[in-house]
Chains A and B, each alone.
Chain A
Amino acid sequence: MKRRRGSCVLSALVLAAATFSVAGAEEREVGARPAADSPEAGLWVLSDKAESEAKRSAELNTSAELREYVRSVACKVAATHCPEIRVYVFDRPFFQASMAPNGYMEVWSGLMLRAESEAELAFVLGHETGHYVNSHSWQSLQAVKSRATGAMFATVLIGVAGAVASVNAGSAAAANGGSAASAVNSINSVTSGLINAVYLGTVASLFSFSREHETIADAFGYDAAVKAGYQPSAGVALWQRLIDETAASDFPKVRNGQARTSVFDSHPVAADRVAALNKLAGDQTGGEEGKARYRAAIRPFLGPWLRDDLRRRDFGQSLFLIDRLGAGGEDLGVINFYRGEALRLRRKDGDAAAAEAAYREAIRFADAPPETWRQLADFAERRGDHAETARLLQTFLDKAPNAGDAAFARMRLARALGAPAPEVAPLAAPDPVAPPGSPVPVAVAPSAVSAALQADLSMPTANGTRP
């Protein structure tokens, strides 16, 4: 009896497995939209809704130039499907690109920052186009459905088996004078373990299915990018760098995550994908790399995107990324500034000195952000070097007179110079259109405010006196 039930569960699962291995069927026709009454249309409507939400997202990168650039690359790889694909760049510091079934594609800044050439971006966009052209979302839903059906039958069957067994066990235990309750409990826990196993099996096959999709999409992306004239080795280079960055993480869990073949990995182990792409590329060379063009497109965003990246608080990875970005000897002002920021925030032994060295390196280049001088002033101030502090703060103020903290910097500057702090400009007061006869508001003298501020904020200097 028991064995028969077991085989029934098994056959339900095998049946389900058979249904979902029909992957990678046909590619979409150009411009085809599912008919309104087709089941696939539902997915498209939900995607349309998500897309209209995305357009209103605060994280959407609003640069028209960047969007146009990414779109133009997507168009080259999507070829005939180009008009169906809409790319949105989001300022989110994670490596991510995704494709909705309706052709709405998201590329996150974390990915843009990690790709090093147009060829690498082309490979990723081609990969996502592969998901679209092969209707992978729709296939996944179908797979989930059939797998879930298998699991459902199995759950109900095992549930029944457990119920029957526990009733029998109860009476048997009672007949033997033992504790019926404990027998029932142990059998129930065995059954619930079985149910979990069934669910686990479903989940595992679900994710391995998506691995299959990822492999198909990789191959599609490779073909599309190479057809569009891009370097065949770009995909390999990108995935390999991702593996290396993962290994550079501050967190052991992240570092070890790469090697482990967990059923809950939603993507193939990156090493598998590198091997597959390596095989595809073989020893082909040539093709366009588009490195300079790509860097020019992302250059205006290097600063803001690196600042976002530091919010992930994985300084090992951030520093790896910063090294890569600086390897070509470009944008060294911005890059060294953020190297300094990463080290300053990490606060390991020796990081403070290394951070200062990085800021010093940054100011040798014209593109160093004004904040670099302010950060250097902090170090000088801590050493009690008033002249240097004043010089650095003055440079910061010359470069960024309207910085949000300019007033504070002016106050620090005055203190470093040993002069009384300048008066803080009073905030623009609303037009005092007082009705005639109303009492005149009592104004607090700005000098009193600044004196109070100074008293509160001024810190003892190195020799213990207040300036």
Chain B
Amino acid sequence: MKAWAICASAIVLAGCTTTATKVATVSFEKPGAGSTILLMKPDITLAALTASGVGEPRADWMASASQNLSAEAREFAQSKGLQVKEFDPAAAEDQRVQQVIKLNSAVSQSIRMHAYALALPSKTTFDWTLGDGAKSLADREGATYALFINGSGTYSTAGRAMMQIFAAAAGVGIAGGGQSVFVSLVELKTGRVMWTNAVLAGPNDMRKPEGADLLAKSLFKDAPL
């Protein structure tokens, strides 16, 4: 946790990619070769950080980052001998499936809050679960695992960079852009969250294929696949 904070501050100065992986402390089955993994379309929200600090959402960045990370995830899963099935949660029609997806975003939010941002001192286990209702997604889509990728952040505009220099000269520190990605792997049979990783992208620009490629190395670190 401390390392995270140190690196978070280090990013501002030098720029590095940090990861914070967590593996479930409860049992789960590692996928055998040929199992199917449901690759959820990465949900990425990116904005341009304008001079004053107002974010201006950018559709083109969101689309390319989502595409790049999706390609990286597919490549990674395939390298582990898994069958990949892509799935767009926004297009899900089935009520049960929609509920599982909603539940996953709620659980992910709790994990980010209580296992990362403000870790609960009394919670030493990592046993988050969506419950066995997740099975409905498995049955419907014929997959045993699901991989969720969530990213958000901003990239500084030239104006913001100028503002940083201007403010620094005046002795006032203002922040530049930054991006984070959260990824989680769910065992659909039990609903257990097997592994999560929170990554600060640092210099790796997910809007570009090369950047996404470098980012993916950190992103899928220690994934139990």
Q: Which of A40-48, A216-224, A386-394, A456-464 contacts B (4 or more CB under 8 A)?
A: A40-48
A316 in contact (CB, < 8 A): no
B52 in contact (CB, < 8 A): yes
B59 and A44 contacting across the interface, CB-CB below 8 Å: yes
Q: B-side binding surface: helix, strand, loop or mixed?
A: mixed
B57 and A152 contacting across the interface, CB-CB below 8 Å: no
Query: Distance in Å from the Cβ of B2 to the closest Cβ of chain A?
Result: 31
CB contact between B52 and one of A39, A52, A149 (< 8 Å): that residue = A149
User: Which chain A positions have C-beta within 8 A of B172?
Assistant: 156, 159-160
A148 and B54 contacting across the interface, CB-CB below 8 Å: yes
CB-based nearest B residue for A48: B90
User: Which chain A positions have C-beta within 8 A of B115?
Assistant: none
Q: How far is the CA of A149 from the CA of B174 in the complex (A)?
A: 13
B50 and A145 contacting across the interface, CB-CB below 8 Å: yes
CB contact between A151 and one of B52, B56, B170 (< 8 Å): that residue = B52
Asked if A45 meets B53 with Cβ closer than 8 Å, knowing A156-B167, A156-B172, the reply is no
Q: Using a Cβ–Cβ cut-off of 8 Å, how many residues does chain A contribute to the interface with B?
A: 28
B62 and A45 contacting across the interface, CB-CB below 8 Å: yes
**What range describes how many residues of B lie at the interface?**
20 to 34
A42 and B171 contacting across the interface, CB-CB below 8 Å: no
Q: How far is the CA of A159 from the CA of B172 in the complex (A)?
A: 8
* 149-181 of chain B: CB within 8 A of chain A: 163, 166-167, 170-172
Q: A-side binding surface: helix, strand, loop or mixed?
A: helix
B47 in contact (CB, < 8 A): yes
A145 and B56 contacting across the interface, CB-CB below 8 Å: yes
Q: How far is the CA of A48 from the CA of B60 in the complex (A)?
A: 14
CB contact between B59 and one of A36, A56, A148, A157 (< 8 Å): that residue = A36
Asked if A42 meets B98 with Cβ closer than 8 Å, knowing A149-B51, A152-B163, the reply is no
A52 and B58 contacting across the interface, CB-CB below 8 Å: no
Q: How far is the CA of A46 from the CA of B172 in the complex (A)?
A: 32
A36 and B60 contacting across the interface, CB-CB below 8 Å: yes
User: Which chain B positions have C-beta within 8 A of A145?
Assistant: 50, 52, 54, 56
A141 in contact (CB, < 8 A): yes
CB contact between A160 and one of B50, B61, B63, B171 (< 8 Å): that residue = B171
B45 in contact (CB, < 8 A): yes
CB contact between B58 and one of A39, A141, A156 (< 8 Å): that residue = A39
A156 and B166 contacting across the interface, CB-CB below 8 Å: yes
Q: Mask for A142-166, Cβ within 8 A of B = 1, else 0?
A: 0011001111100011011001000
Query: Distance in Å from the Cβ of A459 to the closest Cβ of chain B?
Result: 41
B45 and A52 contacting across the interface, CB-CB below 8 Å: no
A148 and B53 contacting across the interface, CB-CB below 8 Å: yes
B102 in contact (CB, < 8 A): yes
* 46-85 of chain B: CB within 8 A of chain A: 47-48, 50-54, 56-63
CB contact between B51 and one of A43, A45, A52, A152 (< 8 Å): that residue = A152
CB-based nearest B residue for A146: B52
Task: Point out residues on B near A: beta carbons under 8 Å.
Answer: 43, 45, 47-48, 50-54, 56-63, 90, 98, 102, 163, 166-167, 170-172
List 7 A-B pairs, minimum CB-CB distance, nearest first: A42-B57, A148-B52, A41-B59, A149-B52, A45-B59, A152-B52, A52-B90
What are 12 A-B residue pairs whose CB atoms fall within 8 Å in the complex? A36-B59, A37-B59, A37-B60, A41-B59, A42-B58, A43-B57, A45-B57, A149-B50, A149-B52, A156-B170, A159-B172, A160-B170
